[in-house]
Amino acid sequence: MVGDGPPRRGSRRAPADRAADGRGAVAVAQLRRRSAQSVRDRLRRVRAGTGLAAQAGLAAGLAWWVASDLLHIPLPLFAPISAVVALAASVGQRLRRIVELIIGVSIGVLVGDLLIYLIGAGPWQLGLIVVLAVVVSVFIGGSPALVVQSAATAVLIGTLTPSVPNLEIPRFVAALVGGAVTLVVTAVLLPLNPLRVVNRAAKPALDLLIDQLEATDEAMRSRDADRAQAALDRLRDNKKQLGAFSEAAQGAREANTLSPLHWGNRHGPIERYVQSVEPVDRAMRNSGTLIRRAVTMIEDGEPIPEAMPAAVAALAQAVRVLRREFTAGDDPTGARQQALRAVCEAGRAYRAGVGFSGEVVVAQVRTAVSDLLVATGTSQGEANRLVRHTFGQLTPPPAPLAARAGSDRPGGADGAGSASGVG
- CB 357, CB 296: distance < 8 Å: yes
Which of 64-73, 150-159, 280-289 has maximum average pLDDT?
A: 280-289
Phi, psi values for residue 4, rounded to 5° = -75, 155
What is the model's pLDDT at position 36? 60
- Lowest-pLDDT range, 5-14, 18-27, 112-121? 5-14
What is the model's pLDDT at position 169? 74
For residue 409, pLDDT over 50 is answered with no
What is the model's pLDDT at position 1? 43
What is the model's pLDDT at position 422? 29
What is the model's pLDDT at position 402? 40
pTM of the entire predicted model: 0.65
Q: pLDDT tens, 191-210?
A: 767 777 778 888 889 999 99
Question: Cα 240 from chain centroid?
Answer: 5
Higher pLDDT, 3 or 261: 261
Q: pLDDT tens, 131-189?
A: 988 888 888 777 777 788 788 878 877 777 656 666 667 777 887 888 888 878 877 77
Residue 374: pLDDT band (50, 70, 90) is very high
What is the model's pLDDT at position 261? 60
What is the model's pLDDT at position 344? 95
Q: How far apart are CA 257 and CA 264, in angstroms?
A: 10
What is the model's pLDDT at position 31? 64
pLDDT above 90 covers a percentage of the chain that reads 33
CB-neighbour burial class of residue 406 (10 A; exposed 0-12, middle 13-18, buried 19+): middle
- CB 391, CB 343: distance < 8 Å: yes
Residue 283: pLDDT band (50, 70, 90) is very high
Mean pLDDT across 55-84: 85
Residue 14: pLDDT band (50, 70, 90) is low
What is the model's pLDDT at position 292? 95
Of 120, 81, 119, 121, the C-alpha closest to 101 is 81
As a three-state string, the secondary structure of the chain is CCCCCCCCCCCCCCHHHHHHHHHHHHHHHHHHHHHHHHHHHHHHHHHHHHHHHHHHHHHHHHHHHHHHHHCCCCCCCHHHHHHHHHHCCCCCCHHHHHHHHHHHHHHHHHHHHHHHHHHCCCHHHHHHHHHHHHHHHHHCCCCHHHHHHHHHHHHHHHHHCCCCCCCHHHHHHHHHHHHHHHHHHHHHHCCCCHHHHHHHHHHHHHHHHHHHHHHHHHHHHHCCHHHHHHHHHHHHCCHHHHHHHHHHHHHHHHHHHHCHHHHHHCCCHHHHHHHHHHHHHHHHHHHHHHHHHHHHHHHCCCCCCCHHHHHHHHHHHHHHHHHHHHHHCCCCHHHHHHHHHHHHHHHHHHHHCCCHHHHHHHHHHHHHHHHHHHHCCCCHHHHHHHHHHHHCCCCCCCCCHHHHHHHHCCCCHHHHHHHHHHC
What is the model's pLDDT at position 76? 81
Of 294, 407, 273, the C-alpha closest to 358 is 294
Residue 29: pLDDT band (50, 70, 90) is low
